[in-house]
Amino acid sequence: MNPSKAHFPFIKMDEAGIDMQGNPYHSLEEAWIQHVALNPNAKKSNATIESWYEKSTEYWKQQESTVNGMLGGFEKLHDDDIAESKQLLQQVYFSKLANRNEMKRIALDVGAGIGRTTKFLHCPLFDEVHMEDVVNIFVDKAQEYVNNPKLTQRICCPMQQFVPYANTYNVIWIQWWSI
């Protein structure tokens, strides 16, 4: 079985696009093959999907459990980032999609780190927030950092293995995340 299909059975694999080097691809499977299987550097390093994610996890484990660490040294962008994100949620979700009769509004913050967007974006706007991150230290720190009873679930799991609860979330949010 193709590794990408094994890891992502829920993803529509025929999505076309352009990678970061400007190379077009016709499917996610083709994008993966271009990135790993046909990449001479990837072949030399015996790259696999797992090693690709492991490198990302190791990078994040080395970052500080602070806003500056979560933003890769760009803490100065925090206020504008939250303001713009809040404006987007207001324009897209709350003004157009939110069902006024919903009993409870629940957000899922994926790749949440210490809970920066959980604290400043989701908790003020939603009744309940769940968060997911791969780094246990960040997930543990979030309880203290967010310090809000609206944060009801902290999940430590790699994003690529995480399966959100079905029919639970009004918004699933991934802020600034790239693999």
Tell me: do 169 and 87 sit in the same domain.
yes
Tell me: do 43 and 123 sit in the same domain.
no
Tell me: do 76 and 141 sit in the same domain.
yes
- 61, 105 contact by CB (below 8 A): no
How many domains, in total, are found in the chain?
Answer: 2
Residue 120 Cα distances to 95, 108, 162, angstroms: 20, 14, 23
Strand partners, 24: 18
Q: What is the pTM of this model?
A: 0.73
Residue 52 domain-assigned (yes or no): no
- Euclidean distance between CA atoms 35 and 64, whole angstroms: 29
Mean pLDDT of 105-121: 96
- Domain range spanning residue 40? 3-47
Tell me: do 35 and 85 sit in the same domain.
no
Q: Which of 21-35, 40-54, 142-156, 161-175 has the highest mean pLDDT?
A: 142-156
Residue 53 domain-assigned (yes or no): no
Tell me: do 73 and 116 sit in the same domain.
yes
Tell me: do 131 and 170 sit in the same domain.
yes
For residue 161, give the CATH number of its domain.
Answer: 3.40.50.150
Tell me: do 92 and 42 sit in the same domain.
no
pLDDT score, position 49: 67
Tell me: do 160 and 84 sit in the same domain.
yes
Query: pLDDT, tens digit, for every residue of 1-54?
Result: 344 444 444 445 567 777 767 778 888 777 777 666 555 555 555 556 677 788
- Euclidean distance between CA atoms 164 and 127, whole angstroms: 18
pLDDT score, position 6: 47
Under DSSP, the state recorded for 164 is P
Two tokens, residue 97: 């999609």
With a pLDDT cut of 70, the percent of the chain lying above it is 75
Q: Assign 66 a pLDDT band (cuts: 50, 70, 90).
A: very high
CB-side neighbour CA atoms (13 Å) of 94 = 14
Tell me: do 38 and 109 sit in the same domain.
no
Tell me: do 93 and 145 sit in the same domain.
yes
- Euclidean distance between CA atoms 88 and 43, whole angstroms: 41
Note the Cα 162 to chain centre separation in Å: 10
- 34, 27 contact by CB (below 8 A): no
Number of residues in the chain = 179
Under DSSP, the state recorded for 2 is -
Task: Determine whether 31 is exposed, middle or buried from the number of CB atoms within 10 Å of its CB (0-12, 13-18, 19+).
Answer: buried
Tell me: do 22 and 73 sit in the same domain.
no
Q: Looking at 35-39, 74-78, 156-160, which range is the least confident one?
A: 35-39
